[in-house]
């Protein structure tokens, strides 16, 4: 059975309006249709339209003025836009083609340090790649402490179709709370260079993923070829 879940109506209204703003149909400064008009257009209750508009306002897409109307601000630029390679790596679904190898290996020095265990403690290393068309656009390694991987499929070479984060949540109720990322420029390791088919500089992302208590769920390292990737960040100055 095709059980595709429809997103909630208020979210549908939000996406529709966001799309129109991006398309320029609603330009910055324009007044949006009134709540009543939107109610008619989308065939939903005012509660729903109001919730969509108020959420958009909180996210900075629009501005609402009591008695006048809602106006396009067109500047959804918020700290939410930051690229977060660490998190997206933990969330991305896997497929058979992008698993390179999964093995139990002694923890490399820098990984052991981040996990707070002794060097050479055995850990699970899960090597993957991401493809963009024909080319390998990223080489990723995820390291798991044994006690985390215990009872999960993280130590098996089968693809996790819902991603690592989902798997941890579903199988062991482990929740990701925060991520520490360290970014640097470096040469790819021999293995990475082979996978990427190039030894030009890479952006190295080393991320430590924690649960709410601060324990390390995994450490991950991503090598992003410099000629393929740019990380963008916009911020307000106090």
x/- site string to a second copy, residues 149 to 188, per CB under 8 A? Answer: ---------------------------xxxxxxxxxxxx-
Give CA–CA dist 194/145, Å, rounded: 26
Name the minimum Å distance from CB 38 to DNA: 8
The piece of 9-17, 121-129, 140-148, 202-210 that touches a second copy (CB under 8 A) is 202-210
Residue 200 as a binder of a second copy (CB under 8 A): the answer is: yes
Q: In the set 17, 26, 56, 70, which binds DNA (CB under 7 A)?
A: 70
Q: Which is nearer to a second copy, 141 or 208 (CB)?
A: 208
Give CA–CA dist 232/82, Å, rounded: 7
Backbone angles phi, psi at 158, to 5 degrees: -80, 145
Residue 15 as a binder of DNA (CB under 7 A): the answer is: no
39 contact partners, CB below 8 Å, separation of at least 6: 45, 46, 49
| Among DNA, a second copy, none, residue 135 binds (CB under 5-8 Å by kind) | none
Phi-psi map region of 12: left, alpha, beta (phi>0 left; psi -120 to 50 alpha): alpha
Task: Transcribe 178-216 into DSSP letters.
Answer: EEEEEEEEEPPPHHHHHHHT--S-EEEEEEEEE-TTS-E
Residue 32 as a binder of DNA (CB under 7 A): the answer is: yes
Residue 137 as a binder of DNA (CB under 7 A): the answer is: no
Task: Please report, as ranges, the residues that interact with a second copy according to CB under 8 A.
Answer: 58, 77, 79-80, 82, 84, 87, 176-187, 200-204, 224-227, 229-237
């Amino acid at each position: 059975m095709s059980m595709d879940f429809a997103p909630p109506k208020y979210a549908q209204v939000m996406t529709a309006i966001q799309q129109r703003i991006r398309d320029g149909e609603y330009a910055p400064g324009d007044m949006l249709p009134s709540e009543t008009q939107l109610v008619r257009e989308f065939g939903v209750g005012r509660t729903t339209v109001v919730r969509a508009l108020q959420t958009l306002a909180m996210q900075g897409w629009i501005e609402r003025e009591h008695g006048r109307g809602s106006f396009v601000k067109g500047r959804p630029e918020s700290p939410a836009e930051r690229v977060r390679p660490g998190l997206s790596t933990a969330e991305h679904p896997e497929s058979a083609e992008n698993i390179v190898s999964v093995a139990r290996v002694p923890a490399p020095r820098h990984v052991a340090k981040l996990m707070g265990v002794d060097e050479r403690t055995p850990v699970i290393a899960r090597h993957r790649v991401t493809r963009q068309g024909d080319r390998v656009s990223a080489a990723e390694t995820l390291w798991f402490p044994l006690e985390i991987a215990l009872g999960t499929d993280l130590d098996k070479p089968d693809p996790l179709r819902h991603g690592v984060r989902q798997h941890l949540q579903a199988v062991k109720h482990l929740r990701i709370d925060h991520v520490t990322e360290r970014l640097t420029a470096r040469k790819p390791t021999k293995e990475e260079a082979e996978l990427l088919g190039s030894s030009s500089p890479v952006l190295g992302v080393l991320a430590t993923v924690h649960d709410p208590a601060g324990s390390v769920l995994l450490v991950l390292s991503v090598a992003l070829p410099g000629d393929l990737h740019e990380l963008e960040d916009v911020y307000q100055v106090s």
